[in-house]
């Protein structure tokens, strides 16, 4: 998919360097199918197709294994020893070494003299991109389940295993990184057995980096994963599971044919919108687009039709032939935004450009929700909903990298439920949070989202982790042993914890207090009643809306004091006294006072040098232009943004 973006819509926005790097990577890809462009899809009935995914905890080697499989099947050039990660195509993925977008590639592999079509979908490992994983699995019958032989089973190993199991996929357990000196294959295999009931005899032991054991993986894919099913003579049913946007061809959709045949020129219709289209182009992702004339049941490929707007490609939609009635496929549960933040242009006149960039970027990332908002301190902006804070950070980086946007993001907030006597509303922006202490607000109660969290950690750090969880208002703490190794037994700790705690600095604390050994995963745990309030920050009695926070009452003094102190540090002294206050309702929780100063920038310049004085006055005039005026208080724009950034990473 990203190749489609790269070739088209987003290409124009990449800077020259990143384009050059990606182009080099692109032209290193050779393949039998691209040389032999007349790939005949008729040659691959269902029994010769295997659709599979690679699933694992973050960094356990999915993209590296994908590279080796593509090399071994001749899809790309051999480059063992180098770390290409061909399917991680976005600049943000290559810079951070993480996958954020599932990618598809088709390989041809001859087994017992018979050529098979293997469709691989490489998926992200981080919990924020779990939606991407579950969507991709819908096109698969099997999954390679990778576990790092030195790290062992980690938190996301458990969640992705269960997602694959619930979908009834055939799971091939793989122990990766056996080349590492710290690898302990026996212990980790035993963990896989005790945690997932995996038979040790089924576990393939490989080094994706060195290419060891990868041949056996190809064999296992063909032998163990069932072929897809589907009647090629039945009515057309194509599951639309992903899409991207091409400014010349419109929407490019990724489809999995569940029954029937999809040909160029076919007249098709969407079960979701009932709109009709004509298929302009069909093909497979190899990983580049390779045109074919038809797609058969079980096959995974792309189509373009006359879909002009990206919103027309509804993820999870069923496409069928015009005039044929079909029962729609089950589709997908829509992504649920977990955190919200306001995104504003640094220069407020750039808002139209920023809004356009956000619109284009969300075409390639459908899990982001967008709503306009305005702030008296920051001007016009958008409130965006993300699946987590890493997702938010990746989106920010993509806006900067691919759209050259200069933005400022407010502190992430979670969606709160406010129950009134006669209705319930969701609040995604702290400024809209009611004054719950005021009886006239008619608020019955406030609820906050909670998650069911699991932390896997060596036993020695259990105490630290319990302490961390308690400090973040966790409840229902429980733990059990994952393995009983005498030297380094590992424990899985589970609890319910407010989502707002998770999106603060929880993850950083978890890593530092466990020396990097703990892994963490969470899933939606519903809502619970909570004692929350809106904290406003006032400068000289004027509220600064962009800084408002929602806090738990048990932490209000601590939070108020911390931020008032930080504001005191960064706000320059004014010509008058400025009280800085943290306020809940009408009550001042914390206060600092900025003493007055008469700004005489030429005071230090003794005698003569009239030009120097003029230059200083000129400089002062310049910097005044970059001041933010909040009520009567003038604040350098950068200082204000620093506070917002600090709130963002609190």
Ligand X SMILES: Nc1nc2c(ncn2[C@@H]2O[C@H](COP(=O)(O)OP(=O)(O)OP(=O)(O)O)[C@@H](O)[C@H]2O)c(=O)[nH]1
DSSP 158-194: HHHHHHHHHTTPEEEEEEE-TTSTT--HHHHHHHHHH
Query: Binding site membership: which residues?
Result: 56-63, 122-126, 176-179
Stretch that binds ligand X, among 34-42, 173-181, 290-298, 556-564 (CB under 6 A): 173-181
Residue 247 in tokens: 């400014």
DSSP symbol at 273: T
Is residue 230 within the footprint of ligand X (CB under 6 A)?
no
Number of H helices, E strands in the chain: 17, 32
DSSP 490-550: EEEEEEEEEHHHIIIIIHHHHHHHTTT--EEEEEEEEEEE--EEEEEEEETTEE-GGG-EE
Indicate the residue among 88 and 312 with the shorter CB distance to ligand X.
88
Q: How far is the CB of 208 from ligand X (least distance, A)?
A: 4
Q: Which of 31, 176, 357, 367 binds ligand X (CB under 6 A)?
A: 176
Indicate the residue among 136 and 207 with the shorter CB distance to ligand X.
207
Task: Let me know if 48 is exposed, middle or buried by CB neighbors in 10 A (0-12, 13-18, 19+).
Answer: middle
Q: Which of 4, 39, 58, 418 binds ligand X (CB under 6 A)?
A: 58
Contact 253, 242 (CB under 8 A): yes
Indicate the residue among 98 and 338 with the shorter CB distance to ligand X.
98
Could you give the 3-state DSSP secondary structure of residue 488?
Answer: coil
DSSP symbol at 432: G
Residues within window 313-352 making contact with ligand X, judged by CB under 6 A: none
Indicate the residue among 81 and 113 with the shorter CB distance to ligand X.
81
Q: How far is the CB of 126 from ligand X (least distance, A)?
A: 6
| Cα angle 29, 34, 39; round to 5 | 145
User: What is the x/- site pattern for ligand X, positions 177-206, by CB under 6 A?
Assistant: x-xx--------------------------
Indicate the residue among 148 and 317 with the shorter CB distance to ligand X.
148
Is residue 105 within the footprint of ligand X (CB under 6 A)?
no
Is residue 159 within the footprint of ligand X (CB under 6 A)?
no
DSSP symbol at 212: B
Residue 322 in tokens: 């015009």
Q: How far is the CB of 566 from ligand X (least distance, A)?
A: 33
Indicate the residue among 160 and 462 with the shorter CB distance to ligand X.
160
Q: Which of 31, 73, 75, 99 binds ligand X (CB under 6 A)?
A: 99
Task: Let me know if 183 is exposed, middle or buried by CB neighbors in 10 A (0-12, 13-18, 19+).
Answer: buried
Q: How far is the CB of 124 from ligand X (least distance, A)?
A: 5
User: What is the x/- site pattern for ligand X, positions 487-526, by CB under 6 A?
Assistant: ----------------------------------------
Q: How far is the CB of 630 from ligand X (least distance, A)?
A: 41
Is residue 80 within the footprint of ligand X (CB under 6 A)?
no
Q: How far is the CB of 179 from ligand X (least distance, A)?
A: 5
Stretch that binds ligand X, among 95-103, 341-349, 500-508, 576-584 (CB under 6 A): 95-103
Query: Binding site membership for GTP: which residues?
Result: 56-63, 122-126, 176-179
Q: Which of 4, 10, 33, 56 binds ligand X (CB under 6 A)?
A: 56
Is residue 211 within the footprint of ligand X (CB under 6 A)?
no
CA dihedral 280, 284, 286, 289 (to 10 degrees): 10
Indicate the residue among 90 and 446 with the shorter CB distance to ligand X.
90
Could you give the 3-state DSSP secondary structure of residue 27?
Answer: helix
Q: Which of 29, 51, 63, 413 binds ligand X (CB under 6 A)?
A: 63
Is residue 209 within the footprint of ligand X (CB under 6 A)?
yes
Q: Which of 98, 192, 457, 567 binds ligand X (CB under 6 A)?
A: 98
Is residue 391 within the footprint of ligand X (CB under 6 A)?
no
Determine phi and psi for 378, rounding to 5 degrees. Answer: -115, -5
Indicate the residue among 58 and 503 with the shorter CB distance to ligand X.
58
Q: Which of 95, 97, 601, 617 binds ligand X (CB under 6 A)?
A: 97
Q: How far is the CB of 87 from ligand X (least distance, A)?
A: 9
| Cα angle 603, 607, 611; round to 5 | 85
Contact 497, 473 (CB under 8 A): yes
* Helix boundaries (H) for 243-386: 351-364
Stretch that binds ligand X, among 54-62, 224-232, 498-506, 641-649 (CB under 6 A): 54-62
Q: Which of 15, 36, 47, 83 binds ligand X (CB under 6 A)?
A: 83
Q: How far is the CB of 177 from ligand X (least distance, A)?
A: 4
Q: Give just the sign of the alpha carbon dihedral 342, 386, 89, 99.
A: positive
Binding residues with ligand X: total (CB under 6 A) = 22
Is residue 141 within the footprint of ligand X (CB under 6 A)?
no
DSSP symbol at 637: H
Q: How far apart are CA 486 and CA 616, in angstroms?
A: 70
Contact 303, 41 (CB under 8 A): no
**How far, in Å, are 50, 274, 308, 559 from residue 537 at the CA level?**
58, 50, 46, 11
Indicate the residue among 93 and 373 with the shorter CB distance to ligand X.
93
Rg (CA), the chain: 28
Stretch that binds ligand X, among 51-59, 104-112, 296-304, 508-516 (CB under 6 A): 51-59
Indicate the residue among 176 and 581 with the shorter CB distance to ligand X.
176
- Name the closest residue to ligand X (Cβ): 125
Q: How far apart are CA 313 and CA 240, in angstroms?
A: 8
Q: How far is the CB of 198 from ligand X (least distance, A)?
A: 19
Q: At what angle do helices 556-570 and 637-648 cross, to 10 degrees?
A: 150
Cβ neighbours of residue 166 closer than 8 Å, sequence gap 6 or more: none
Q: How far is the CB of 111 from ligand X (least distance, A)?
A: 23
DSSP symbol at 205: E
CA-based max dimension of the chain:
96
Indicate the residue among 59 and 401 with the shorter CB distance to ligand X.
59
Euclidean distance between the first and final Cα of the chain, in Å? 35
Give the footprint of ligand X on this chain (CB under 6 A).
56, 58-64, 83, 85, 97-99, 124-125, 176-177, 179-180, 207-209
């Amino acid at each position: 998919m990203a190749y489609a973006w790269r070739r088209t819509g987003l290409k124009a926005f990449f800077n020259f360097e990143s384009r050059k790097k990606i182009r080099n990577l692109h032209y290193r890809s050779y393949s039998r199918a691209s040389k032999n462009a007349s790939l005949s899809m008729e040659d691959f009935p269902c029994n010769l197709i295997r659709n599979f995914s690679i699933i694992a905890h973050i960094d356990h080697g999915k993209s590296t294994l994908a590279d080796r499989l593509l090399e071994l099947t001749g899809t790309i050039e051999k480059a063992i020893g180098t770390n290409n990660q061909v399917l991680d195509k976005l600049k943000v993925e290559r810079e951070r070494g993480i996958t954020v977008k599932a990618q598809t590639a088709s390989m041809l592999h001859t087994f017992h003299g018979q050529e098979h079509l293997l469709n691989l979908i490489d998926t992200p490992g981080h919990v924020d991109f779990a939606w991407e994983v579950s969507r991709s699995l819908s096109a698969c019958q099997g999954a390679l389940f990778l576990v790092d032989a030195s790290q062992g089973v980690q938190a996301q190993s458990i969640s992705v295993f269960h997602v694959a199991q619930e979908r009834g996929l055939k799971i091939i357990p793989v122990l990766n990184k056996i080349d590492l000196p710290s690898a302990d294959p026996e212990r980790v295999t035993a963990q896989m057995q005790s945690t997932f009931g995996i038979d040790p005899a089924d576990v393939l032991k490989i080094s994706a980096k060195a290419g060891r054991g990868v041949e056996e993986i190809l064999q296992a894919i063909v032998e163990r994963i069932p072929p897809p099913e589907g009647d090629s003579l039945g009515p057309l049913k194509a599951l639309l599971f992903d899409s991207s946007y091409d400014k010349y061809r419109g929407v490019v959709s990724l489809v999995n044919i569940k029954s029937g045949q999809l040909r160029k020129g076919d007249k098709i219709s969407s079960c979701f919108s009932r709109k009709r289209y004509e298929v302009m182009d069909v093909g497979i992702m190899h990983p580049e687009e390779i045109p074919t004339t038809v797609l058969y049941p079980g096959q995974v490929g792309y189509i373009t039709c006359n879909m002009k707007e990206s919103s027309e490609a509804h993820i999870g939609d069923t496409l069928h032939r015009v005039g044929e009635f079909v029962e729609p496929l089950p589709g997908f549960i829509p992504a649920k935004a977990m955190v919200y933040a306001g995104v504003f242009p640094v220069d407020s006149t750039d808002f139209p450009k920023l809004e356009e960039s956000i619109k284009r970027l969300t075409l390639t990332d459908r899990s982001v929700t967008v709503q306009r908002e305005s702030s008296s301190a920051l001007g016009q902006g958008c409130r965006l909903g993300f699946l987590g804070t890493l997702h938010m950070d990746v989106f920010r980086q993509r806006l900067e990298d691919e759209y050259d946007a200069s933005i400022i993001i407010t502190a992430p907030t979670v969606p709160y439920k406010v129950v009134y006597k006669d209705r319930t509303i969701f609040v995604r922006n702290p400024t809209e949070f009611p004054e719950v202490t005021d009886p006239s607000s008619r608020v019955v109660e406030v609820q906050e989202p909670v998650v069911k969290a699991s932390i896997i950690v060596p036993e020695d750090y259990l105490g630290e982790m319990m302490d961390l969880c308690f400090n973040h208002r966790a409840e229902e703490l429980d733990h059990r042993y994952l393995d009983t190794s005498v030297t380094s037994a590992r424990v899985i700790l589970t609890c319910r914890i407010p989502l707002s705690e998770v999106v603060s600095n929880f993850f950083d604390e978890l890593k530092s207090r466990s020396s990097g050994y703990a892994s963490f995963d969470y899933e939606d745990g519903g809502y619970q009643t909570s004692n929350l309030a809106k904290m406003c920050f006032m400068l000289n009695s004027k509220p600064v809306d962009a800084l408002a926070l929602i806090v738990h009452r048990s932490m209000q003094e601590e939070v108020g004091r911390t931020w008032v102190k930080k504001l005191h540090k960064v706000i320059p002294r004014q010509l008058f006294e400025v009280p800085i206050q943290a306020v809940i309702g009408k009550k001042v929780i914390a206060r600092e006072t900025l003493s007055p100063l008469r700004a005489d920038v030429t005071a230090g310049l003794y005698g003569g040098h009239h030009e120097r004085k003029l230059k200083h006055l000129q400089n002062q005039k310049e910097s005044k232009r970059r001041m933010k005026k909040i009520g009567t208080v003038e604040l350098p724009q950068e200082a204000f943004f620093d506070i917002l950034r600090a709130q963002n990473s609190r």
